A and B are shown apart, each in its own frame.
Chain A
Amino acid sequence: MKGHPFLLNIILLSMLTSAAMGQVSPKEACRIDDGQLVFTLDLQWSPAQKQEVARLFNLDSAVMAGALSGKSIIVSNGVEWKTKKLNARTVELFKPLSDPANGDGFPDDVVMVDDDWAGFTMEPVRESVDWGINKFTRYTVFQYIHGVARFYLPGHLNAKEVYLSGTFNRWSTTQMPMARSDSGWTIKLKLKPGKYLYKFIIDGQWVPAPFNRQYGSDGNIHDNSVVFCFNHTFVLKGYKNAKEVYVTGSFNGWDPRGLRMFKTNYGWVFPMYLREGTHAYKFLVDGVWMTDPLSKMVVADGAGHFNSLIGIGDTVLFRLKGYSSSKNVVVTGNFNGWNAVGLKMSKTSDGWQFPYVLSSGNYEYKFVVDGNWITDPANPYTVGFGATKNSFVAVRANHTFIFEDKAGINSVLVTGSFNGWNRDGYRMVLKDRQWTFPIRLKPGKYTYKFIVNGKWVLDPRNELWEENEYGTNNSILWVEN
Chain B
Amino acid sequence: MTLIRNIFQVLVVVSLTFVSTPVSRARMGPVDIKPLFLPEIVIFTSQSPAGVFPEGASPVVIPLKRSGRLFFMEVRIDNQVGNFIFDTGSSKLVLNKTYFRKFIVVDEEEAGGVTGSTEGICRTSVKSLKVADLHFSNLSADVTALGHIEDRRGIKILGLLGLSLLKDLEIVVDLNHNELHLFRLDKKGNRLVTHPQRRFDLVHKVAEHNNVLFVKAKIGGEQLDFCLDSGAESNVLSSYSSKSVLGTVTILKRSGMVGVASGQTDVLYGMMNDFNLGERRFPAMRTILTNLHKMSKSYGMVIDGMLGYDFFCQGTISLNLIRNEMGICFSKVNDIPK
> A residues bordering B, Cβ < 8 Å?
27-28, 30-35, 37, 56-59, 77-79, 97-115, 117-120, 122, 165, 170-175, 201, 203-206, 220-221, 417, 420-421, 444-445, 463-467, 469, 476, 478
> 7 nearest interchain CB pairs?
A204-B61, A107-B262, A109-B259, A100-B262, A105-B290, A466-B147, A104-B294
Contact B261 A107 (CB under 8 A): yes
* A464 CA / B11 CA spacing, docked (Å): 23
Known contacts A173-B65, A220-B67; A37/B152 CB under 8 A:
no
A98 touches which one: B73, B243, B251, B265 (CB < 8 A)? B265
Interface string of B124-150 (1 = CB under 8 A from A): 000000001000000000000101101
How many residues does chain B have at the interface if contact means C-beta atoms less than 8 Å apart?
90
Contact between chains at A30 and B254 (CB < 8 Å): yes
Task: Say whether B37 faces chain A, with CB atoms less than 8 Å apart.
Answer: no
Choose from A114, A421, A476 the contact partner of B255 (Cβ within 8 Å). A114
B15 within 8 A of A: yes
A118 touches B269 (CB 8 A): yes
Can you show 28 pairs from A to B with CB atoms below 8 A apart? Answer: A31-B246, A32-B249, A32-B268, A32-B289, A37-B266, A37-B268, A57-B251, A78-B264, A98-B266, A101-B262, A102-B261, A102-B294, A104-B295, A109-B259, A110-B19, A110-B20, A110-B152, A111-B11, A112-B5, A112-B9, A113-B255, A118-B286, A118-B310, A122-B10, A173-B74, A205-B179, A466-B145, A467-B145
Q: How many A-B Cβ pairs are below 8 Å? A: 221
Complex CA–CA separation, A56 to B265 (angstroms): 16
Cβ 8 A contact of A108, one of B2, B19, B252? B19
Picked from A77, A108, A463, the residue with its CB within 8 Å of the CB of B259 is A108
Contact of A476 among B2, B81, B98, B263 (CB under 8 A): B98
User: Are A106 and B18 in touch, CB under 8 angstroms?
Assistant: yes
B177 at the binding interface (Cβ < 8 Å): yes
The reply to whether B10 and A105 contact each other, CB–CB distance below 8 Å, is: no
A301 to B222, CA, bound (A): 72
In the complex, are the beta carbons of B261 and A122 less than 8 A apart?
A: no
Contact partner, A34, options B243, B262, B290, B310, Cβ 8 Å: B243
Q: How far is the CB of A60 from chain B (nearest CB, A)?
A: 10
Contact of B10 among A99, A113, A467 (CB under 8 A): A113
Known pairs A100-B291, A102-B116, A120-B69. 14 more at Cβ < 8 A? Answer: A28-B250, A33-B243, A37-B266, A100-B265, A103-B294, A106-B13, A109-B148, A110-B20, A110-B259, A111-B19, A112-B5, A112-B11, A173-B74, A469-B260
Contacting residues, chain A, for B265 (C-beta < 8 A)? 98-100, 107
> Please, which residues of chain A bring their CB within 8 A of the CB of B295?
104-106
Residue of A with least CB distance to B151: A445
Known A118-B310, A221-B178, A445-B156: A100·B261 in contact at CB below 8 Å: yes
B residues in contact (CB < 8 Å) with A: 1-5, 8-15, 18-20, 25, 60-63, 65-69, 73-74, 76, 81, 97-99, 101-102, 115-116, 132, 145, 147-148, 150-152, 154-156, 177-179, 181, 233-234, 236, 238-240, 243, 246, 249-256, 258-269, 286, 288-295, 310, 338
